[in-house]
Amino acid sequence: MVYHPEFERAGRKAGLQVWRVENMDLVPVAESLYGRFYTGDSYLVLKSTSNRRGDLQYDLHYWQGAECSIDESGAAAIFAVQMDDFLKGEPIQYREVQGYESATFSGYFKTGLTYMQGGVASGATEVPVSWESFNRGDSFILDLGRVVIQWSGCQSNGFEKLKATLVSKSIRDNERSGRAELVIVDEGAEPTKMIEVLGAKPDLPDSSGDDTQTDVSNRKGARLYKMSNVRVVQGKEPAHLMSLFGGRPMVIYKGGASRNDGQSERAETRLFQVRANPAGDTKAVEVDPSSSCLNSSDVFLLVSSSASWMWKGKSSSLAEVKGAEYLAGILQVTPTQLEEGEEEDAFWESLGGKSDYCQVPRINNKIDAHPPRLFACSNKTGRFQMEEVPGELTQDDLAPDDVMILDTWAQVFVWIGKEAQEEEKMEAAASAVRYMEADPAARDPRTPIVTVKQGSEPPTFTGWFLGWNHEFWNIDPLKRLMQSL
């Protein structure tokens, strides 16, 4: 067996690991750079997942950039085989090619894939720092180091602006540790710094730029990223981040603090939803204190001014119970233990009364055959397309200007956003039927297809999304994000 020192670090615990092939050697990539790929290189990506029996399962991907040499591409494939041998043949191997990555691979990187020096990305594509790269239909991020400028063309849509803002905010907060200035502008309001770097702004086309000249010296150290028809998954922390909490839950409180308004006041009654990922890492999200937010697959901690309860769904896991116990310690409460179906009246009263909630068992284990899948349906490019949304499902994935298809195996939902076009609505319903018919798993033709509209989602739909907020649609998502900057 061929040995490499990096193999000793591979797959020792649940999480994500990335290596880059440099000079025919395997070099680990820092976690802060996960998701950023150089088009002239090749990479190994190992996802280690712990199932409910505590056994580790492996998915091993070797990624090839569009400009990668044959030698480096071959080296990555060889390293993948050798690492597979070192892990006793247990990994499932995947070949990933730039621009054609699988949804599983893309789902590992929740701020999207960033291709350095060209390519087509699901997150951001680095393009030449020039007005020639701009057009009116997309959003762009001009990274000047201490200043990050996000520019949106007059024809770019709201969802695209939202996702571009999430990426530019990630650059400021994660790559610059919050020390960079973030400037967000629309076409026609270009700041002086942007003109200094790019030169005078020419007339821009809908899809490609015109020739423009300016002082190249101003562009040194600058980077420009194009965000085009992008669906960047946010609010869903990757496994390697959640694993840093050492078995303790990541806690996300409702409200929180913004840069301008400070800390919001805590509610008198608070409800936390505790959910574990396949690796056993837990996340606790504060949700509306309403019985409609309960879910049979999770554990909930309810804290009121007079009492507290830990409610255990029938399909919840031990990891979720432990996560709720830790959260109770943080909140300094000793909750009454409740099994689903054995609730006391005071519990329901604290939630405003008993109502319907999601009682469909959620598939938690990676080895289960039919996890839920979400697809975005859009005709913004001139033809109808379906694009799978990778990763854990969150409400942010639902774009108001799109139609979405949620496949939970037992039933298929067609979700219609308020701003969706009529053509999308008509095509989505037909596509849901074709999707079922084309599924190689030989789906039951009697599987129900349910149409739901934005703002009127039933518990059987909302239960698949962690931390569903019934007030979410009352404020424009982009406006909400801008308020938090």
Residue 98: CATH number of its domain: 3.40.20.10
| 234 lies in some domain | no
Pairing of strands 15-22, 223-227: unpaired
In this structure, are 243 and 340 located in the same domain?
A: yes
Residue 484 lies in a domain: no
Distances (CA, A) of 38 to 22, 160, 231: 11, 24, 21
| pLDDT at residue 367, rounded to an integer | 35
Average pLDDT score over the chain: 78
Using one digit for the tens of pLDDT, what is the confidence trace for 176-207? Answer: 767 889 999 999 999 999 999 999 999 888 75
Which residues are bridge partners to 226 per DSSP? 125, 140
| Per-residue pLDDT at 272 | 94
Residues 390, 304: one domain? no
Q: Do 179 and 251 lie in a common domain? A: no
Residue 475 lies in a domain: no
**Residues of the domain holding 300:** 239-350
At 32, list the tokens: 């802060």
Does 216 reside within a domain?
A: yes
Report the percent of the chain where pLDDT is more than 70: 77
Residue 426 lies in a domain: yes
pLDDT score of 218 more than 50:
no
Do 68 and 151 lie in one domain? The reply is no
* Tokens read off for 125: 């594509």
Amino acid occupying residue 50: S
Residue bearing the bigger pLDDT, 231 or 57: 57
Count up the domains in the chain and report the number.
4
Is residue 350 very low, low, confident or very high in pLDDT (cuts 50, 70, 90)?
A: very high
**In the prediction, which pLDDT does 289 show?**
92
Of 227, 260, 291, the residue at which a domain comes to its end is 227
Report the alpha-carbon distance of residue 175 to residue 342 in Å, rounded: 48
